[in-house]
Amino acid sequence: MGMEHLPGNPHIMLKLQIPRWSERPRILMLMLAMILPAAALIAFSAFYLRNMQREKAIEAAYHVEYERMLAIAEKEINWRMYETADMARSEFPDRDNPGAIDGFLETHPEITHALLWTGKEQMVFRSQSSRLASGAFCAEDQTQASDFTTWWNLDAKMYIDKLRKYEAHEGKHLVFDDHWVSRGDKWQYQSLVMFIPRGSSPERPALAGFIYDTDYLKNKFFPAALNEVMPDQTEADSMHPKTAMMVRTVKDDFPLAASNHWDGGTAEVERPFQDVFSGLILGIKLRGTTIANVSAHLFRNHFMILGALSLLMGAGMILTYRSVARELALAKLKSDFVSNVSHELRTPLALIRLYAETLELGRISGTGKQQEYYEIIRKESERLTSLINNILDFSRIESGKKEYSFRETNVADLVRTTLESYRFEIEQNGFQIEQKIDNDLPPLWVDREAIARSLLNLVNNAVKYSSNEKYLGIRLYRHDSSVNLEVVDRGIGIPEKEHGKIFEKFYRVGDPLVHNTKGSGLGLSLVRHIVQAHGGEVAVESAPGKGSRFIIILPLQRLGIQQVNEVSA
Ligand code: ADP
C-alpha cells in the first residue's frame, strides 16, 4: 500500500472480537437446540437406570426367569421319574405270585425294597438279598418290614382307593411318597412308589410298592436328569452367564445331587418339589457369579456408557461452539473487509478525479502547483495499485493459485532499492529512517516481487501505526542459518495477546488508534504466506506504547533446497 496513510483518519470504525457479544446468545441458542434433546435423553436414561437399580429390577427379572426355568425342570424330572417307575411297575410280579419278587429285585438293583399287601396281615416285604450281608442293612430291613406291615394294615385300603380314582381320572397308575430312613446318624431320602399290582380286582384288592434307594437317586437319577433339563448354554457370555441346578432335601442345606459345573454355594432361587419328589427342593444359581453381581456389572456398564456419551456430547458442544463462533467471526470480518476496501478505493479515486478535473480546466497557472497535483495523482494511483495488488495476491493465495518465481537474489540490494523508492515520501512524513544492511550475505533464492511487497507492507504498517515518535528502523543481517530482515518502529505497539491473531486474514486489532487508521487486515496475512512459501517464518516483538519489531526469517538451508527444486523443475 502507499505510504501516505497516517494515523488520525477517522474513517473506519472496526471492532473485531471473537465472538462478538451480540452473536453469543445466537450461538448458544443454536447449541441448546442441539444439545438439550440429547442431554435430556441422557438424563432420562440415567434416571431410569437409577430407578431400575433402586428397585432391583434386574434381580427381579432373573428371579422370574429362574422360577419359570425351575417349574419346567420340575415337570421334566417328574415325568422322567414317572416313566422309570412305570417301566418297573410293568415288570412287577402278579399279586398271586409273591415268590417272583426276589427275581424282580435282582433285575432292579436301584430298588432296595419291594412290598406286596394282599389283605389284612398278608404282607410280603423283600429287600435286595445281596445287601443283606451287611448287618446295618439287615437291621434296616427288619425295622422297615415291621413299620410297613403296621402302616399298610392300616392304610392300604385308603391308598388303593386313591389309586383307583387316580387311574380313572388321570390315567396314572403310580403314587409317590417321600420315605426317610436313618442310616448311621443321618436321615436318608428315599422314594416310595405305590401301585395296584396285576391280578388285583375290587374283590381281591392288593397294594404293591417299591423303594428307590438314596444312592441311586443321588448318583444316577438326579445328575442325569438335572443335566438334561438344563437349558442350552452354548451362547453363555459375561452378560448371560451359565447356570447350574441342584437338588437338596428339606433337611439339608447342601445338594443331594447337582448338574455339571455346580460350583458350590447355595442356590439363588429354589422351588420345593410337589407330587413325585415331595421332600426335595430344586435350586438354581449362576456359575462363578451371583445375580447381584451381574446386575451391578450391567448397571456399571450402562452408567459408564452414559458417562462417555455425556463427555462426547460436551466435547462436541465445545467443538461446535468454537467452529460456529469462528465462522460467524469470519463472516463479520469479511463484511468489515468489504466496507474497509470500499473506503480505501473511494478516497484515492476521489482525489485523482478532483485533481485531474482541476488540471483539465486549465485554471492552475504555476508549474509548481501543477507539479504538486501531478504528484498527488501519481501517489494516489500507486496507492490504488498496491491495494489492488494486495487483494489480487490474497485472492490467488486463497484459491491456491499463487505462484512464486524464485531467483538467485542479492537480498541486500533488493531491500535497498525497495526502500529507496519510498524513502523520500517516508521522510516527508517526518520519519527518521535508520538502515543497517549487511553487505556480505550469501545470495538467496527468492521471489523478488513478493519479498519486496512483504517489506513494503511492514514498512507501511510501521508508518501507519506510529503517531508520536516517527522512527523507522530497517535491519538485514545473518543469524545462525538464516537471513533476518527486521522492520522496527516506535509506534503504538501491539498487546501480547494479539500477536498471534494479527497474522490472520482480515484481522485488525480492536484499538481506537487502529480504528482510526485505514486498512484491510490483509497485509500481515500476505507477509506470513509469502515468508512461509520461502520456508521461513515471520515473528513479532511488540508492546503497547513501546513500538513493534517485525522479523522476517529466511532460512539459508531451506532456500538451498528450493534452489535444487527450481533447477530440477
Ligand atoms: P491493516 O491493513 O489493518 O494494517 P495488517 O494485516 O497489515 O492489516 O495488520 C493487521 C493489524 O496488526 C493491524 O490492523 C494493526 O492492528 C496491527 N499492526 C500491524 N503492524 C503494526 C505496527 N507496526 N504497529 C502496531 N500495530 C500493527
HEC letters along 339-354 = HHHHHHHHHHHHHHHH
Contact 381, 4 (CB under 8 A): no
What pLDDT is recorded for position 562? 47
Task: Give the ligand 1 atom nearest the CA of 487.
Answer: 23
Beta carbons within 10 angstroms of residue 186's beta carbon: 10
Whether 509 lines ligand 1, by a CB cut-off of 6 Å, is yes
What pLDDT is recorded for position 567? 44
Between the CA of 447 and the centroid of ligand 1 the distance, in Å, is 23
Whether 460 lines ligand 1, by a CB cut-off of 6 Å, is no
pLDDT band at 257 (very low <50, low <70, confident <90, very high): very high
| Cα–Cα dist 287/368, whole Å | 109
What pLDDT digit, counting tens, does each position of 290-301 carry? 888 888 998 999
What pLDDT digit, counting tens, does each position of 34-51 carry? 788 888 999 999 999 999
Mutation choice for ligand 1 from 343, 390, 461, 541, CB with most ligand atoms inside 8 A: 461
Whether 258 lines ligand 1, by a CB cut-off of 6 Å, is no
Is 60 exceeded by the pLDDT of residue 18? no
Contact 527, 454 (CB under 8 A): yes
Between the CA of 519 and the centroid of ligand 1 the distance, in Å, is 8
Pairing mode, strands 547-555 and 537-543 = antiparallel
Mean pLDDT of the chain: 87
Q: 18-35 burial, b if ≥16 CB within 10 A, otherwise e?
A: bbeeebeeebeeebeeeb
- 3-state DSSP assignment of residue 444: strand
| Cα–Cα dist 240/65, whole Å | 12
Lowest mean pLDDT among 458-462, 496-500, 541-545, 558-562: 558-562
Contact 302, 265 (CB under 8 A): no
Q: Where are the domains of the chain?
A: 53-232+239-289, 402-568
Q: Which helix (H) or strand (E) holds 473?
A: strand 471-479
Q: Taking residues 436-452, what's their average pLDDT? A: 92
Contact 459, 431 (CB under 8 A): no
Between the CA of 68 and the centroid of ligand 1 the distance, in Å, is 80
Q: Whose C-alpha lies nearest to ligand 1, atom 19?
A: 461
Written as one string, the DSSP assignment of 237-262 is -SSS--EEEEEEETT-SS-SEE-TT-
Whether 14 lines ligand 1, by a CB cut-off of 6 Å, is no
| 420-425 LR contacts (CB < 8 Å, sep 24+) | 422/3, 422/456, 422/459, 425/3, 425/4, 425/379
Lowest mean pLDDT among 196-200, 258-262, 370-374, 516-520: 516-520
What pLDDT digit, counting tens, does each position of 476-534 carry? 999 988 999 999 999 999 999 999 999 998 888 888 878 778 788 889 999 999 999 99
Task: Give the ligand 1 atom nearest the CA of 514.
Answer: 16
Grid cell locating 253 = 442345606
Q: What distance, in Å, lies between the first and last C-alpha atoms of the chain?
A: 33
| CA-wise closest residue to 524 among 504, 543, 541 | 504
What pLDDT is recorded for position 346? 87
Percentage with pLDDT > 70 across the chain: 92
Is 50 exceeded by the pLDDT of residue 17? no
- Alpha-carbon dihedral of residues 16, 20, 23, 29, nearest 10 degrees? 140
What pLDDT is recorded for position 23? 65
| CA-wise closest residue to 474 among 496, 459, 461, 457 | 459
What pLDDT is recorded for position 16? 40
pLDDT band at 559 (very low <50, low <70, confident <90, very high): very low
Cell 424282580 sits at which residue? Answer: 104
Whether 506 lines ligand 1, by a CB cut-off of 6 Å, is no
Task: Give the ligand 1 atom nearest the CA of 522.
Answer: 6
Q: Which helix (H) or strand (E) holds 488?
A: strand 482-489
Is 90 exceeded by the pLDDT of residue 249? yes
Task: Give the ligand 1 atom nearest the CA of 340.
Answer: 2
| CA-wise closest residue to 157 among 187, 119, 189 | 119
What pLDDT digit, counting tens, does each position of 147-160 carry? 999 999 999 999 99
Contact 88, 290 (CB under 8 A): no
Comparing 183 with 359, which gets the higher pLDDT?
A: 359
| Cα–Cα dist 408/294, whole Å | 76
Is 70 exceeded by the pLDDT of residue 92? yes
What pLDDT is recorded for position 5? 38
Is 50 exceeded by the pLDDT of residue 10? no
| 410-416 LR contacts (CB < 8 Å, sep 24+) | 410/441, 410/443, 411/441, 411/443, 411/444, 411/446, 411/451, 411/476, 411/483, 411/485, 411/554, 412/437, 412/438, 412/439, 412/441, 412/476, 414/446, 414/448, 414/451, 414/452, 415/455, 415/474, 415/476, 415/485
Q: Which helix (H) or strand (E) holds 487?
A: strand 482-489
Cell 487486515 sits at which residue? Answer: 521
Pairing mode, strands 432-437 and 471-479 = parallel
Q: Whose C-alpha lies nearest to ligand 1, atom 16?
A: 509
- 3-state DSSP assignment of residue 529: helix
pLDDT band at 187 (very low <50, low <70, confident <90, very high): confident
Whether 394 lines ligand 1, by a CB cut-off of 6 Å, is no
Is 90 exceeded by the pLDDT of residue 332? no
Task: Give the ligand 1 atom nearest the CA of 466.
Answer: 24
Whether 340 lines ligand 1, by a CB cut-off of 6 Å, is no
What pLDDT digit, counting tens, does each position of 386-434 carry? 888 888 888 888 888 888 999 999 999 999 999 998 888 899 889 999 9
Superfamily in which the 402-568 domain is placed by CATH: Histidine kinase-like ATPase, C-terminal domain (3.30.565.10)
Q: Is 210 left (phi over 0), alpha (psi -120 to 50) or beta?
A: beta
What pLDDT is recorded for position 565? 47
Q: Whose C-alpha lies nearest to ligand 1, atom 11?
A: 508
pTM (two decimals):
0.57
What pLDDT is recorded for position 21? 52
- 3-state DSSP assignment of residue 407: strand
